[in-house]
Copies of this chain bind each other. A is one copy, B any other.
Amino acid sequence: MANIRDVARISGYSVSTVSRVINQKNYVSEKTRAAIQKVVDDLDYVPNDVARDLSRGKTFNVGVVLPHSDHPYFTQLIHGITTAAFAAKYHVVLLSSRYDAELERDYLEGLRRKAYDALIFTSHGLPLTQLARYRKYGSIVVCEQPGASGIPAAYAHRRTTYREALAYLKAQGYHHIGLMLSRPIAVSATSQATADAYRAVFGSKPATKDCATDVITLADGQRAATDFIKRGLQFDAILANSDDIAIGVTRAYRQAGLPVPFLIGQEHQLSGEVAHLPTIDHYFKKVGENALQLAISGAATNIAIDATFIAKQ
C-alpha cells in the first residue's frame, strides 16, 4: 500500500508538502494542491492512523474500565460515554476488569504505554490513591465521589437521594429495612453512601446481617432474598440496588409463599416501570457524558449531578 513518500516521489513534491495537502493546511498553491491530490487519488492513498498517532503522540482513544459489561449501570454509562465520544471524535475502548487489581493496573499501564489518552473508571477495585499515581501519564476520571484523591470525577449525588428514599420508607412506617449492595461497604463509595444515609435517617448504622453484598444481577437479588428468608429475617422494606434486583427479590418471596416486603429499586429500569416500583434514577447516561468530557478536556474538576427519587410510577 502506498505511503506518503510514494505520493511525494511520484508527484515530484516533498513529503512535507504532501502532508500539508492531506491535512488541508495553509501555504500550498492551488496548482500544487491539485497535482498532489491527483496522485493521492490515483494511488488511492490514505494516511496510516497508527503512524499519525505515533508522530502526534496522541491516539484519541479513551479506555473505559468496567467490571461487568452486562450490568445496567455500566450499560447506561457506556451509552453516555459513547455518545459524547462520538461527538468529540474520540474512540471508546472497552476494558473489562471484574474488579481484578492486576487487570486494572494493566489498564493504568496502558496510559504509560500510550495506548489511551485517558481512562474512565466506571468502578474500580484499586484504591483511588493508586489510580492517582498514574495521572501524570494521562487523564483519569472516576464515576464516583473522589474524596481527597484529587482525581477528576463525574457522578450523581447519592447520599441525599438515598436519604430521601429511606426517609420515605420511615414515613410510611417501615422500620426494619434490608439493604442490597453491589459491593461491601468498606470498598465501595456507593455502599458507603447507602449506609451513611441509613444512619442519617434511622440513627444507627445498618446491621451487617441486614446488608446483602455482591448483588449485581436479578439472580443475585433472588439469591440474596432467599438467604434473608432462610436466616429468618423479616423486613418491612428492602432497598435494592437496581429495579431488576428488586424483581429478583419479589420472586424469592413469591417462591417462598411469603408476602413481599415494600421495595425500592434503582436506575429507573424498565422492569421497575412495569412493576410500578419506586426507584432512584441516577441519570447515568448524563454521568457518562460528563465523564467523557472531563477525560478529554483534562480538567481537574468534578461534575456532580443530582439523582432523583421517584416514589410512584
Contact = CB atoms under 8 A, between A and B. Distances in A.
A94 B1 CA distance: 26
Interface residues of A, number: 39
A59 interface: yes
Contacts of A79: 69-70
Nearest to A52: B113
Contacts of A93: 61, 91-94
Interface stretch (A153-161, A166-174, A267-275): A267-275
A183 interface: no
Instruction: Please state the number of chain copies in the assembly.
Output: 2
Contacts of A76: 70
Contacts of A96: 82-83, 86
- Say whether chain A's binding surface is mostly helix, strand, loop, or mixed: helix
Interface string A85-115: 1100001111010000000000001101111
A196 interface: no
A70 B59 contact: no
Interface in A32-59: 46-51, 53-54, 59
Contacts of A270: 218, 244, 247, 270-271
A78 interface: yes
A243 to B, nearest CB: 9
Nearest to A51: B54
A48 B114 contact: yes
A11 interface: no
Contacts of A188: none
Interface in A273-302: 274-275
Interface of A: 1, 46-51, 53-54, 59, 61, 69-70, 75-76, 78-79, 82-83, 85-86, 91-94, 96, 109-110, 112-115, 218, 244, 247, 270-271, 274-275
